[in-house]
Amino acid sequence: MQKSKHYFFIDAVNKRLNPDDLEVTTFQQKLYRLNAGLAGEEKLKRVISDYNLRSKGRIYYNFECVNASGYTHQIDGLLVTAHFIVIFEVKQISGTLFYKPALHEFYRVSESNLQENFPNPFDQAYRHQLFIEYLLKTWQISIPVYYMVVIANIRAKLDSSLMDYPIMHISGVPYYLEKLYEQHPKPQANLSILQNHFALLYKQLPPRRTIEKHRLRKGVLCKQCQYLNVMYYKQGYFECSICQTKNKDAIIESLVHYRILISPRITNKEFREFFNIPCIHTASKMLRKLGLEKHGTNKGAFYIIPDSW
């Protein structure tokens, strides 16, 4: 499952945000929603892996790209076969879902009888469909594109106002695909050409937010303590001031947070300030040992924090 850069950003903010920040709850809710979304995609993945596609196909989860106007598309599930393409919009909504088609209004009534509007998933998926159809035309490939909104929460109830719309519980996906194969029994495109096009189109999107450095807690944070406590540098390792966990590599995760939240570049001075290392020579030695690439010389020198270790 491909987690987005936005996901890693929100996750890191939740570990680093000052506890008295005004947006603590906002960021917690964002992470909660992103995790629910991932769980939904995970369920779709299980249902589709269990089902034997009648032809070779490729499914992309959380497919991200940018269109010609510079706007972004994030598709929860994109099934590409030589017969047809299906866009899956996965929803983990609870309660009872209703639709007023003439108004394009999609809403749910929760178990406590609270009515709440949601972004219309049909309009979201339709926008993706138009985009993919446009691309196919430019690639001179002619296969049909469908979309389906799948509800990953088994307890959600779908009101009959949704009856004639492309929405179903996730368990219906194999039957739905079987019907599509019956409608389109002959392959009409070359799958590997299609895959190449989508591979070129794919682009990981940047996080949809930024955050000011002063709102974040500094230091190497202790994973054992759910990132609540700071670890201090002793000779060659970090030690948690509360649970006394010792760890040589704890700094790596904190450097990754730095890259995601602040910058992929770090100077010796910034490194000492952020990770509470008093000595410039110790800092240089640590940076070297961590294998960070050094650029520039003297005062202008900085290090690059890699994408992965």
- Residues found near Zn ion in the complex (CB under 5 A): 222, 224-225, 229, 240, 242-243, 245
**Whole-angstrom distance, CA of residue 31 vs CA of residue 33:** 5
Q: How far is the CB of 299 from Zn ion (least distance, A)?
A: 36
- Residue closer to Zn ion, measured from CB, 125 or 220: 220
- Residue closer to Zn ion, measured from CB, 171 or 241: 241
| Those residues with Cβ within 8 angstroms of residue 282's Cβ, 6 or more apart along the chain or in another chain | 233
Q: How far is the CB of 231 from Zn ion (least distance, A)?
A: 7
**Whole-angstrom distance, CA of residue 92 vs CA of residue 38:** 9
Cβ–Cβ < 8 Å for 16, 257 = yes
**Whole-angstrom distance, CA of residue 178 vs CA of residue 180:** 5
Q: How far is the CB of 305 from Zn ion (least distance, A)?
A: 23
- Residue closer to Zn ion, measured from CB, 78 or 231: 231
Q: How far is the CB of 65 from Zn ion (least distance, A)?
A: 41
Which tokens sit at 299?
A: 């005062």
Q: How far is the CB of 289 from Zn ion (least distance, A)?
A: 23
**Whole-angstrom distance, CA of residue 143 vs CA of residue 180:** 12
Radius of gyration of the chain measured on its C-alpha atoms: 24
Cβ–Cβ < 8 Å for 151, 169 = yes
Q: How far is the CB of 249 from Zn ion (least distance, A)?
A: 15
**Whole-angstrom distance, CA of residue 137 vs CA of residue 154:** 37
- Let me know how many helices (H) and strands (E) the chain has, helices first: 8, 16
- Residue closer to Zn ion, measured from CB, 193 or 242: 242
Q: How far is CA 174 from the centre of its chain?
A: 25
- Residue closer to Zn ion, measured from CB, 94 or 247: 247
Surface-to-core class of residue 114, CB atoms within 10 Å of its CB (0-12 exposed, 13-18 middle, 19+ buried): exposed
- Residue closer to Zn ion, measured from CB, 166 or 219: 219
